[in-house]
Chains A and B, each alone.
Chain A
Amino acid sequence: MAEQIKKKTGNSIQKRETRWGLLFLSPWLLGFLIFTLLPTLASLAFSFTSYNPIQPDQIRFIGLDNYARLFTDPFFRQAMGVTVRFVLISIPFAIINPLALALLVNSPHLLGKNFYRAMFFLPSMIPLVVNVMVWRGIMNSESGWLNKALAYIGIQGPNWFQDEQWVIPGLTIMGIWGVGNAMIIMLAGLQNVPTELYDAAKVDGATGWQRFRHVTLPIISPIIFYQLVLALIGSFQYFTQAYIVSNGRGDPNGATMFYNLYLYRTAFNFLDMGYGATLAWVMFVIVLLITIFLFRTQQRWVYYAGGE
């Protein structure tokens, strides 16, 4: 009897706690429902229609026409090509740069480590738009100090943001400034490598490179994997910098027509919201598939000390 009463009391306390918990969570739940889930579902519905936001009363269900259009849309292919090219160029930088900086500021031989850590991190605190405006000045082919510095050593700097060949490398260089967050995460990973492993490797006669290759890299591989997934998603969603640099048009000559920029123009400039929603869902599926693929590959190269 006493046990039953105890059980009942326990249940009612649990229920009450659940109710209170849900009550406290309800602002977030409502927010998620209204501002994220419903618009997401609405965009899926729009992708099967000819929705034009200025003429909402003329919306028509068109089945899979928008999805079929992807196969004949040359701008879709162009935007995907620009984005993939950027992903291929920028992802190695997004992994190698912060790792190199983290190694540098973790080095016992570096004087003023904290100063450098703060300095490397600081640019990532600057709002993205300001960052782009500053770099537009730095990389201006006529008055930017980057080309002036190159000229000083006898190199004719390119026309960074007006040249089709140089604009993507230019954007990649611009992105180097914002590696602070990734560097801090890499640094945390490096500081978690057990020192006894290095000691053991030294005793075995391992060189610095061998210690890095066979001790550091495997131990921080979960961090690298995490950065890789984030960088991949970020690169596929690249928009703000391209929008500002290209005047929202993919200048020069479509070289910066990133997928998200094309999506934005389709939906908001050309008011083809149905097709815009289709582009958004296709991007979602592509990124999802690549992420799943990456997760599948992690068994081969990511080391989890405690197992997965």
Chain B
Amino acid sequence: MKKHLLFVLSLLVVASFVLAACGGGAAATPAPAETAAEDDGGVMVEADTADTERVQIYWYIGLGAGAQPQQIPLQREFVEKFNDSQDRIQLIMIVVDNKFARDNLTAQIAAGNAPDIVGPVGTEGRGFFPGAFLDLQPLVDQFAYDTSDIDPAFLEFYKDQGELIGLPFAIFPSAVFYNRALFDEAGLAYPPHEVGESYVLDGQEVEWSFDTLAEVARRLTVDANGNDATSPDFDKSNIVQYGFDFQWTKDSPRWFSAYFEPFYPVADDGTAVLSEGQVDSINWYYDAMWGDQPFLPTQAAMDSDLISGNSFSSGKVAMGLTHLWYTCCIDQSSVPSWDVAVVPSYNGNTTAKMHGDTFAIMNTTQYPEEAFEVYSYMLGEGSADLYAIYGGLPARTSQQTAFFEGQAANFAPNEVDWDVFLKMIPYLEVPGHELVLPNIAKSHDAFLQLGSDLRSNPDLDISTRLEQFLNDLTAIYQEAE
């Protein structure tokens, strides 16, 4: 008996080593949304040795882009380059997995151990830390920082409550990414590259609107028997190819509805309200997943082996409406031939929502001048390196051509009409979809829960659900008063 027990125990010990080894291997294969910062809650602090002769500036990465495994070594090179360029400041980067970054930064602030610089981070990410960032205007004035080739509209875009908490760094306009091969296979024309240009469907010129996009997407959605979604024989329980997705812009209905109609969901009396366009977009989206002719992946489809969380890049989704930052994550072996088209219109209007990322200096920094010196380097001399890392279109017009040349080289021999992104800039949404809401953490969460319901529940009564949502959201707003 004893012998047997020993044998089992030995077997278990050996198995545990094997499993541990396998576990390590699995973790080392990064998924797109994961980071290499896997040591302790996804946090990685990098400093070779603390240089006591220099002022140490901590740069916190992860609230927005920057925690992808492929980005970390490039950021490390950037830090080394900066540290070698002068002898007064030591820049130290802290990389935190995006999933944990908000909580982690909260803990650091609570512990009185906040970093000096945070970013890149978007408006929404900054909105979770109201009052935590330094107004840069006094430093801009003190150092006579040149903002002459930045569009004044962009400077306004980066203001929070009248304070300049970030200088324009990178912008990410939207466009429809489309898979040429799937269009060719279906015998459909490619979507237009000019705003106002018609789409040719069945020999007819039609407006490139969300209705047209839906029709095209249905024809691009195919079941296992090869029937498209418009066919009477279409089996919607066995879809092997989808026509369209709001690529990583659908978690919150506030995000995708901005393509239909920009609207700030707070009424003058402080209650929650949705515009007609937003309600239309929610109905459109829901029908696209659960209607008779679905063409957009549900949550279960997103989690399935077919798509595995990255729809357009899976090669099984013909179109993805998203931002320029998505160039980070297209698997060229699955989608070797892709291009971008303009955002479709809604009620005759085109709205291309935009993300604007930048860096912010925390108002708890002990070294604001040194932090601004690093900041100036990030947005000036070192910016080309950072644009390449984050895939962001430079806010300074003088740097945009070089950026697109770099992107073209990255994706060669596939040719992409990068001008489409520039053409979308004038259609920037106002008000922005990331404009901070009252009680932002909870109100943002309420939108995310609505989005989750839409993606998961095939039996939702949309009008009842929206009524409940607006009641909840009003209560959340009022909680903050």
Binding site for B on A (CB under 8 A): 53-56, 114, 117-118, 121-122, 125-127, 130, 136-137, 140-144, 159, 161-164, 247, 249-254, 265, 268-271, 273
Partner of A269, one of B103, B129, B131, B456: B103
Contact of B19 among A55, A125, A164, A247 (CB under 8 A): A125
Report B-chain residues with C-beta under 8 Å of the C-beta of A114: 4, 7-8, 11
By Cβ-Cβ distance, the 10 closest A-B pairs, closest first, are A53-B110, A162-B456, A143-B304, A142-B304, A143-B305, A251-B452, A141-B300, A252-B456, A268-B103, A270-B441
Main secondary structure of the interface of B (DSSP, over half): helix
- Asked if A268 meets B106 with Cβ closer than 8 Å, knowing A114-B8, A118-B8, the reply is yes
Alpha-carbon distance A251/B450, docked complex (angstroms): 10
Residue in B15, B298, B299 whose beta carbon sits within 8 Å of that of A122 in the complex: B15
* B303 and A140 contact, CB distance less than 8 A: yes
Residues of chain A lying within 8 A (CB to CB) of residue B132: 54
Give the distance in Å from the alpha carbon of A53 to the alpha carbon of B11 in the complex.
Answer: 48
Determine the distance from Cα of A114 to Cα of B12 in the docked complex, in whole angstroms: 10
**A247 vs B26: C-alpha distance when bound (angstroms):** 21
- How many contacts between A and B, using CB within 8 angstroms? 94
Complex Cα spacing A254 to B26, Å: 31
Q: A127-B23, A271-B441 are in contact. Are A143 and B306 (CB under 8 A)?
A: yes
Are B300's CB and A126's CB within 8 A?
no
Q: B445, A249: Cβ atoms under 8 Å?
A: yes
Residues of chain A within 8 A (CB-CB) of B441 are 269-271
23 CB < 8 A contacts A-B: A53-B107, A54-B129, A54-B132, A117-B8, A118-B8, A118-B12, A121-B12, A130-B26, A140-B300, A141-B300, A142-B306, A143-B304, A144-B304, A159-B456, A163-B456, A253-B452, A253-B456, A254-B449, A265-B445, A269-B102, A270-B441, A271-B106, A273-B110
Q: How far is the CA of A23 from the CA of B8 in the complex (A)?
A: 38
Question: In the complex, which residues 366-419 of chain B have their Cβ closer than 8 Å to any Cβ of chain A?
Answer: none
Select from chain B the residue with minimum beta-carbon distance to A270.
Answer: B441
Q: Are B16 and A137 in contact (CB under 8 A)?
A: no
Are A56 and B110 in touch, CB under 8 angstroms? yes
Are B300 and A118 within 8 A (Cβ)?
A: no
- Cβ of B195 < 8 Å from any Cβ of A? no
Give the shortest distance, in Å, between B461 (CB) and chain A (any CB). 13
Q: Which residues of A contact B15 (CB under 8 A)?
A: 118, 122, 125
Q: How far is the CA of A161 from the CA of B298 in the complex (A)?
A: 12
What's the nearest-Cβ distance from chain B to residue A166, in Å?
11
CB distance from A55 to the nearest CB of B (A): 8
- Does chain A have a CB within 8 A of B453? yes
CA distance A250 to B298 in the complex (A): 18
Contact A126 B23 (CB under 8 A): yes
A191–chain B nearest beta-carbon distance, Å:
8
Whether B106 and A159, one on each chain, are in contact in the complex, defined by CB atoms closer than 8 angstroms, is no
Q: Which of B443-457 contact A (CB under 8 A)?
A: 445, 448-449, 452-453, 455-457
Please indicate the chain A residues that have their CB under 8 angstroms from the CB of B423 in the complex. none
Chain B residues whose CB sits within 8 angstroms of the CB of A250 once the complex forms: 449
Q: For residue B306, which residues in chain A have a CB less than 8 angstroms away from its CB?
A: 142-143
* B457 neighbours in A (Cβ, 8 Å): 162, 164, 252-253
- Minimum CB–CB distance from A192 to chain B (whole Å) comes to 12
**Bound CA span A270–B445, Å:** 9
Asked if B301 lies at the interface with its beta carbon under 8 angstroms from chain A, I say yes
Residues in chain A near residue B300, CB distance under 8 A: 140-142, 159, 162
Decide if B452 touches A252 in the complex (CB within 8 Å): yes
Chain B, residue nearest A160 (CB): B300
How far is the CB of B316 from the nearest CB of chain A, in Å?
A: 12
**B470 proximal to A (CB < 8 A):** no
Residues of A within 8 A of B102 (CB): 269
Q: Mark each residue of chain B from 91 to 107: 1 if its CB lies under 8 Å from any CB of chain A, else 0.
A: 00000000000110011
Query: Does B159 interact with chain A (Cβ within 8 Å)?
Result: no
Chain B residues closer than 8 Å to A270, beta-carbon distance: 441-442, 445
Interface status of B109 (Cβ within 8 A of chain A): yes
CA distance A247 to B299 in the complex (A): 12
Quote the shortest CB–CB distance from B240 to chain A (angstroms): 10
Q: How far, in Å, is B305 (CB) from chain A's closest CB? A: 4
The residue in chain B whose Cβ has the minimal distance to the Cβ of A130 is B23
Q: How far is the CA of A162 from the CA of B453 in the complex (A)?
A: 9
Cβ contacts under 8 Å, A54 to chain B: 106, 109-110, 129, 132
Residues from chain B with a CB closer than 8 A to the CB of A249 are 445, 448-449, 452
- Which residues of B1-21 have CB atoms within 8 Å of chain A's CB atoms? 4, 7-8, 11-12, 15-16, 19
Whether B106 contacts A118 by the Cβ 8 Å rule is no
- Give bound CA distance, A118 to B305, whole Å: 30
The residue in chain A whose Cβ has the minimal distance to the Cβ of B439 is A270
Minimal Cβ-Cβ distance residue in A for B11:
A118
Which chain B residues numbered 265 to 308 have a C-beta less than 8 Å away from chain A? 298-301, 303-306
CB distance B299 to A162 under 8 Å? yes
- The 8 Å CB contact of B453, one of A143, A159, A252, is A252
A249 to B444 alpha-carbon distance, docked (Å): 11
Q: Which chain B residue has the least Cβ–Cβ distance from A167?
A: B456
B residues within 8 A CB of A143? 304-306
Contacting pair A53 B109 (CB below 8 A): yes
B106 pairs with A136, CB closer than 8 A? no
User: Bound state CA distance, A142 and B308, in angstroms?
Assistant: 12
Distance, CA A159 to CA B298, complexed state (A) = 11
A247 touching B452 in the complex, CB below 8 Å, given contacts A53-B109, A54-B129: yes
A170 to B11 Cα, complex, angstroms: 31
In the bound complex, residues from chain B placing their C-beta under 8 Å from that of A121 are 12
In the assembled complex, the Cα of A93 lies from the Cα of B354 at a distance in Å of 50
Please name all residues of chain B whose beta carbon is closer than 8 Å to the beta carbon of A122 when the two chains form the complex: 12, 15, 19
Known: A54-B129, A143-B304. 9 other contacts (CB 8 A): A56-B110, A114-B4, A118-B15, A122-B12, A142-B300, A144-B304, A253-B449, A268-B106, A271-B106
Measured between alpha carbons, how far is A252 from B459 in the docked complex, in Å?
13
Alpha-carbon distance between A142 and B316 when the two chains are bound, in angstroms:
15
- Chain B: which residue is nearest A264 at the CB level? B103
CA distance A126 to B372 in the complex (A): 46
Chain A residues near B442 (CB-CB < 8 A): 270
Closest-by-CB residue of B relative to A141 is: B300
Q: How far is B298's CA from A142's CA once the two chains are assembled, in angstroms?
A: 10
Report A-chain residues with C-beta under 8 Å of the C-beta of B449: 249-251, 253-254
How many whole Å from B361's CB to the nearest CB in chain A?
16
| A140 and B8 contact, CB distance less than 8 A | no
Cα of A122 to Cα of B16 in the assembled complex, Å: 8
Which A residues are in CB contact (< 8 Å) with B4? 114
Residue among A55, A137, A163, A164 making CB contact with B305, cutoff 8 Å: A137
Contacts of B110 in A (CB 8 A): 53-54, 56, 273
